[in-house]
Structure 1
């Protein structure tokens, strides 16, 4: 079983970011961004494929995960989408990477979409699960279908102090349940889960997660430092860079949708692919398909 070690560390924005790097340092850069509740090992089988093809591959732990840490104790432990996008942009700046292919899913995919939409000059191409993954706060309180609402139980749970305490007491139990229900065709073993679960022991994990799921429903304020970014995202800006988008046909939290559902949000070239027997953790469930999409964008740039 591959592990993404060793790790490097760099100060970037408000964080000391821990990240894995592989491949030639002068290769075309690719950022692989993980989601909740996962970690960098979602890309354990993707990284070797990209590195062997000559890419410089960078896989950071998001804020609140692994050994990534806040530089100051008084920085709000925000999990809002603007913060995630700003973190990715700050990491690119800290590593002096002007332009890269950005690829991710869930929280990490949202960070990639934010940068692709607001700073397209920094993005050579985008790989995104669930297509246009920028949350529309203006529609946050519109009810969904009963079946889709049922799938979001964990978000509503985190709105309460009972949910915060439940996450604090048993973050592994909640994450394991989400892994199983979000990826019903993926038969991961306990060693695979534990390899990632260690990342949830970060001291800021609970605060960042709780803020994320409360902020998106307008239950708490965001970090004022990201207010301008949030305002720009409220306009639901289009993504103009070349994109390959995915859905898992068996995604247990975000149902697959046709390309037409998000077509208006992509004004550049875009391919949309739905993968059978794949759930929410696409790069770990279908690493070859994910790596091939990244390489397609790298070679086309």
Structure 2
């Protein structure tokens, strides 16, 4: 039975600051860092439509336990910017994962725990699958996150299709125009639908919504949701990575996958459907009183999972 007790009210005042910047491949990445520079590294990747403040409570918990914590703004979010005006504003899964690996290289980090949810969980999963030698362990929400683009047009059950309205909306130029006109309005609806028991306030929302003012946000988001259905081409520089992803590679590092019991877009499961995709030790858990933005809604559970795979 789902526990409908509201999750703790989100902090409206704490911020992850100051930010640092690093040239990392095609991006100048803005990121927050905490903890000892010589500690075991943890990379925390946010999703759509969120920002680094999804980890506003997770990051200090991990830093206090001796981890070097890195929390980057993804391409199209916040102060992260493209270094060249000519670079395609791709939001495809291969690009987000390549950005993550370029960040590790730019910071001189050889290995890290990869952790994330939504877009960030997908990047973390791809990193673990394709570059396991760089990954200490994986923490990811919603199971195996690598997109099966070849079968993306196969319809799901009707009740599964309904929460994906925004993805279908974004296939239309009407959807692009709608996102450009009111990116905050769309995000606010998604937050409420995806996390129905999370008591966030307006100040909490606005702290994150500022990240959507990035001039590339709309282009990156629209490309992401069109590419995953195979209706637009990817950036050629990521074609080799995407070809490897087409094979739906296994993940061979210690992994914990988490589902929020109240996730309004990706319903919790028993974890069995994706079990064969993990060839190392993998644990699966459903977290009560958590929706889609699990690390911000239940930071203790997310931080504990990171520490567990760190010590595996």
| TM-score bin, normalised by smaller chain | over 0.9
> What is the RMSD of the two structures over their aligned residues, measured on CA atoms?
0.6
2:180 is equivalent to residue 165 of structure 1: no
Distance in 1 between residues matched to 2:124 and 2:231, nearest whole Å: 25
Match of 1:179 in 2: 191
- Per the TM alignment, residue 2 of structure 1 is displaced from its structure 2 partner at its CA by 1.4
Match of 1:234 in 2: 246
Match of 1:259 in 2: 271
Alignment of 1:8-19 (within 5 A): 8-19=20-31
- Structure 2 unaligned segments of length 5 or more: list them: 1-12
Match of 2:296 in 1: 284
2:140 is equivalent to residue 128 of structure 1: yes
The answer (yes or no) to whether the contact 2:260–2:287 under 8 Å persists in 1 is: yes
Moved over 4 A (4+): none
- Structure 1 unaligned segments of length 5 or more: list them: none
- Per the TM alignment, residue 30 of structure 1 is displaced from its structure 2 partner at its CA by 0.3
The answer (yes or no) to whether the contact 2:150–2:230 under 8 Å persists in 1 is: no
- Per the TM alignment, residue 196 of structure 1 is displaced from its structure 2 partner at its CA by 0.3
Match of 1:97 in 2: 109
- Per the TM alignment, residue 259 of structure 1 is displaced from its structure 2 partner at its CA by 2.0
Distance in 1 between residues matched to 2:114 and 2:14, nearest whole Å: 22
Match of 2:5 in 1: none
Match of 1:71 in 2: 83
Match of 2:7 in 1: none
TM (norm. structure 1) is 0.99
The C-alpha deviation readout for 1:252-276, integer Å capped at 9, x for no partner, is 1011111211101000000000012
- Per the TM alignment, residue 250 of structure 1 is displaced from its structure 2 partner at its CA by 1.0
Distance in 2 between residues matched to 1:148 and 1:185, nearest whole Å: 20
Distance in 2 between residues matched to 1:182 and 1:239, nearest whole Å: 27
- Per the TM alignment, residue 244 of structure 1 is displaced from its structure 2 partner at its CA by 0.5
The answer (yes or no) to whether the contact 2:73–2:80 under 8 Å persists in 1 is: yes
